[in-house]
């Protein structure tokens, strides 16, 4: 009985230590937040504190390359789906497409792209407005872009459903991810 109690206690101590280490790996800010008094958490960070923080948690700041294996695989998959589904030819000439739903979806996605070009291209690069200020200057822009994209994606799926059936969302998502990867690689 005593062996079982000590074995149970030992197992709990080991689990507690492992959980603490894993939590530190997953959420390194937790340690920093626990060491600071409650009132100073939200105050500006002093230079010596910033240096200490960067020394302690700098290893967790990992900058990924745009040319990671995941991005390359998404690009290859989207090219393969585009080629083997005859995506361009289907969009141009297939009579099975429900053109009303497809055109509404295309217009909504075009509105989404226009909002993105306005926010990223015009405000960020030309007007030199920080992306943190977008919501303050144009509070409706991001919700409009999000709503247009979601509604547009649904409409395009409905419009193309007669052609590919249940594979329609998979094909469109794969091509979307390829477009996103291309934008990331160029940017």
Do residues 146 and 50 touch, judged by C-beta distance below 8 A? Answer: no
pLDDT in tens, 45-100: 667 776 776 666 665 566 677 788 999 999 999 999 999 999 999 999 999 999 99
Burial bucket for residue 160 (CB in 10 Å: 0-12, 13-18, 19+): buried
Whole-angstrom distance, CA of residue 182 vs CA of residue 174: 12
pLDDT in tens, 120-168: 889 988 988 888 888 889 999 999 999 999 999 999 999 999 999 999 9
């Amino acid at each position: 009985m005593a062996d079982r109690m000590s074995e149970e206690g030992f197992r709990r101590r080991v689990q507690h230590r492992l959980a603490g280490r894993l939590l530190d790996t997953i959420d390194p800010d937790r340690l920093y937040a626990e060491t600071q008094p409650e009132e100073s958490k939200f105050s500006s960070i002093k230079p010596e504190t910033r240096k200490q923080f960067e020394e302690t948690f700098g290893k967790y700041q990992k900058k990924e390359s745009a040319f990671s294996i995941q991005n390359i695989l998404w690009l290859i998959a989207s090219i393969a789906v585009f080629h083997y589904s005859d995506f361009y030819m289907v969009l141009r000439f297939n009579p099975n497409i429900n053109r009303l739903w497809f055109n509404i979806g295309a217009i909504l996605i075009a509105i989404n792209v226009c909002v993105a070009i306005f926010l990223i291209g015009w405000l960020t690069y030309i007007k030199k407005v920080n992306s943190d200020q977008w919501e303050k200057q144009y509070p409706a822009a991001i919700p409009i872009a999000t709503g247009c994209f979601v509604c547009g994606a649904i409409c395009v799926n409905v419009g193309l459903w007669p052609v590919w059936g249940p594979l329609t969302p998979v094909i469109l998502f794969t091509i979307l991810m390829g477009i996103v990867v291309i934008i990331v690689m160029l940017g």
